[in-house]
Amino acid sequence: MKIHRVGFQGERGAFHEQAAAKLVRQPFETVPFPTFPELFRALARGKIDYAVAAIENTLAGSIHENYDLLLKHRLPILAETNVRIVHNLIAAKGVSLRSVRKVYSMPIAHRQCTVFLEKHRSWEVVPYYDTAGSVKMLTEKKVTDSAAIASAVAAEHYGGHILAKDIGDDPENYTRFFLLGRKLEHKPKPRGVKTSLVFITRNIPGALFRCLSAFALRDIDLTKIESRPLRGRPWEYLFYLDFLGNPKDVAARNAIRNLAESTEFLRILGCYPAVE
């Protein structure tokens, strides 16, 4: 059996790796990348077989960088999954809560743990490129006055010690992840799938209404719509849209055909299942 190379942003033990374990149901080799652009480029150039990329969080909203990268690279969405984000305060072994003076993590993790951090105002909050990467750094350097905010998996992987569990502000903290490939590998099932697309429409009265009515008139459920600035055309936008259904269904096929009549650019990004 071929061992696929699966890339993700961050270090081993990151939430992206947990998503990869759900999305790739067979043995795989993890390939961490420091940034999302490097991850997308590696997949586009065939250096990895798949990529796992976060696309939105229930508290922080959409990850706009990855929406832009989806448009730049023609990499189809193969599947999606949701991962509950459980933040923990982690330090090197032997470090106590009383000795902590600095807390490292990604800025988004700091923001999602403000209630806990407010109880420790004397601590310096230090931004770092990755949650798991901050644990890796502290344990490898044996830092004795600092802790990191990351997953329990990161603590286990790097031999860290959890000082405080589940310190996030909101228990309903989930991140949605995409599994991306270089090409479609099989036809999506006709039921239980979602379709993502992106389009540009003219900036005239009623244009967006006409685009969305193509779905509303056919009782197609839209699950998300996101606008992003259209480069080179100030104050104009392109729109990312998700709907429940398969483009090969009669209603969806007609809706997309109708949408194409009202747009100047349209691309289907993927039709894919949700992995629990």
Which pLDDT tens digit goes with each residue over 68-79? 999 999 999 999
Strands 88-91, 124-127: pairing kind = unpaired
Residue whose tokens read 């043995």: 27
Active-site residue, from 175, 195, 201, 263 = 175
Asked if 268 and 199 count as a contact pair (C-beta separation under 8 A), the reply is: no
pLDDT 10s digits, 184-217:
765 555 556 999 999 999 989 999 999 999 999 9
Q: Percentage of residues in the chain with pLDDT exceeding 90?
A: 91
pLDDT value at position 276? 83
Give residues with Cβ within 8 angstroms of 2, minimum separation 6: none
**What's the rounded mean pLDDT across residues 224-232?**
93
Q: Considering only 25-29, 142-146, 158-162, 261-265, which range has the smallest mean pLDDT?
A: 25-29
- 3-state class of 137 per DSSP? helix
Task: Give yes or no: 177 in active site.
Answer: yes
pLDDT confidence band for 2 (50 / 70 / 90): confident
pLDDT value at position 25? 79
Give residues with Cβ within 8 angstroms of 255, minimum separation 6: 214, 215, 218, 220, 243
Active-site residue, from 15, 28, 36, 177 = 177
- What is each CA distance from 104 to 60, 95, 135, 137, 238, in whole angstroms? 19, 15, 8, 10, 36
Task: Give yes or no: 223 in active site.
Answer: no
pLDDT 10s digits, 52-104:
999 999 999 999 999 999 999 999 999 999 999 999 999 999 999 999 999 99
Is residue 26 over pLDDT 90?
no
Is residue 172 over pLDDT 80?
yes
d(CA 151, CA 157): 10
pLDDT value at position 191? 58
pLDDT confidence band for 3 (50 / 70 / 90): confident
Is residue 231 over pLDDT 80?
yes
Strands 237-244, 174-180: pairing kind = unpaired
d(CA 162, CA 151): 9
* Conformation bin of residue 112: beta by default, left when phi > 0, alpha when psi is -120 to 50: alpha
Domains of the chain listed by start with CATH number: 4-84+173-180 (3.40.190.10), 88-164 (3.40.190.10), 193-275 (3.30.70.260)
Q: Percentage of residues in the chain with pLDDT exceeding 70?
A: 97
Is residue 156 over pLDDT 60?
yes
